[in-house]
Structure 1
Amino acid sequence: MASPFGVLVCLLIVLPQILAISSPIDEIAPLKTCQFPCMTEVNLHLFLHQFVDGPNNPNRNEETLLQASFPFGFGTTIVHDWTLTETTNSKDTVVARVQGVHVQAGLTKPNRWYTTHNIEFQQGRFAGSTLQVMGITAGLESGKWSIVGGTGQFIMAQGIISFTNHPASTFEDGIKELNIRVRFTRDITQAA
């Protein structure tokens, strides 16, 4: 059995040699200092134009993919490509497109439309950027959708979209007034 003194001598002789030939972790993969980029918040006020699906609506911007026979149309699935403008006039310049699906997700209540879509900006300072949005459009006069991500200028986006049905809505053009409040990380690799 080795004496405590012998073990100590071995450690003092062997340990520096082991440390000399081993590389510390940070020499293999150095840690970069984490810089927290600035968070930016933007509030946008836009109008969504939904031209409902139907044989008598040639300008529709949605299409029914599955018409379910369950109560309340549970499972009915519609794909949409709605437009966003700065005014209630659907013929105004399209600022962004709202592309995605909405599904009748209520088995016990009518008009419980779960929606998920990307808002892809086409004009202005956010052109080419997107917001990923989801929520319920419940056939109510107002509601909220969650912003759960984004691309382009909207890196790591989060926020809320409050919507109300606008009084100028018609059967052909269902207009929702959107107040978009989004926080996102400013990309420090891009020029300001």
Structure 2
Amino acid sequence: MTMASPFGVFVCLLIVLPQIQAASIPYNGTVPLQGCQIPCMTEVNLHLFLHQFVDGPNQPNRNEETLLQTSFPFGFGTTIVHDWTLTETTNSKDTVVARAQGVHVQAGLTKDNRWYMTHNIEFEQGRFAGSTLQVIGITAGLESGQWSIVGGTGQFIMAQGIISFTNHPASTWEDGIKELNIRVRYTNPQPVRIILKSLYPNCNVLLFEGKQ
């Protein structure tokens, strides 16, 4: 019977040891992160006014269009595409800071004005130009309400937050004005380095390095 050489034993351990250690990790277990440099979250508050020029006959300035008109009670299923404008004042002729582009659908079978809305707010001016916020919520014909911010791009990477809106007294039959208070948290687009502590003592494995 021949004895294995020290080199052979070393090679065998290199092959077998990772399998033994991997088997010791529970199915639903997690490997702790060490030396993890997580980018900071930033919060900003924005105050803007949304201008909705409603669809309808003799409305040359409208910024929404009905795609589907149904005969269901309360107009259930009626779908409208919109490109609403956002300014810093109640004057719709002021500089357009951003546009809310998306659709709203009458989603209520038992109630009127249960408009489910989803749109991207794309900023055109200022420090956030080119960035977007993904927003969803209900516009229920109420004087005030809230929409959820569920994502973003550009400066608003991994955005989350809330938009509180109020129907503004300066609204007219043509221009429905909503005062928006936007509170959003997002991840700074800076280099990120995440290090996973390997199963081997004193050994770090680089998983990711780059920009968010």
Q: TM-score, normalised by structure 1?
A: 0.85
Aligned with residue 183 of structure 1, among 178, 182, 185? 185
Question: What are the equivalent positions in structure 2 for 1:112-123 lying under 5 Å apart?
Answer: 112-123=114-125
Divergent runs of 4+, >4 A: 12-15, 20-25
Q: Which residue of 2 aligns with 1:152?
A: 154
Unaligned runs of 5+ in 1: 1-5, 26-30
Distance apart, 1:18 and its partner CA: 1.2
Aligned with residue 12 of structure 2, among 10, 18, 24? 18
Distance apart, 1:60 and its partner CA: 0.1
Number of residues of Structure 1 aligned to a counterpart in Structure 2: 178
Q: TM-score, normalised by structure 2?
A: 0.78
CA distance in structure 2 between the partners assigned to 1:16 and 1:181 by the alignment = 58
CA distance in structure 1 between the partners assigned to 2:127 and 2:16 by the alignment = 52
SS for the counterpart of 2:158 is strand
SS for the counterpart of 1:153 is helix
Q: Which amino acid aligns with 1:16?
A: F
Distance apart, 1:16 and its partner CA: 2.5
Q: Which residue of 2 aligns with 1:47?
A: 49
- Deviations along 1:102-140, one digit per CA (max 9) or x if unpaired, are 000000000000000000000000000000000000000
Q: Which residue of 1 aligns with 2:40?
A: 38
Q: Which residue of 2 aligns with 1:77?
A: 79
TM-aligned CA distance change 1:14 to 1:43, over 3 Å: same
- Deviations along 1:41-77, one digit per CA (max 9) or x if unpaired, are 0000000000000111100000000001100000000
Amino-acid identity (%): 81
Instruction: Indicate yes or no: 2:123 matched with 1:129.
Output: no
Q: Which residue of 1 aligns with 2:176?
A: 174
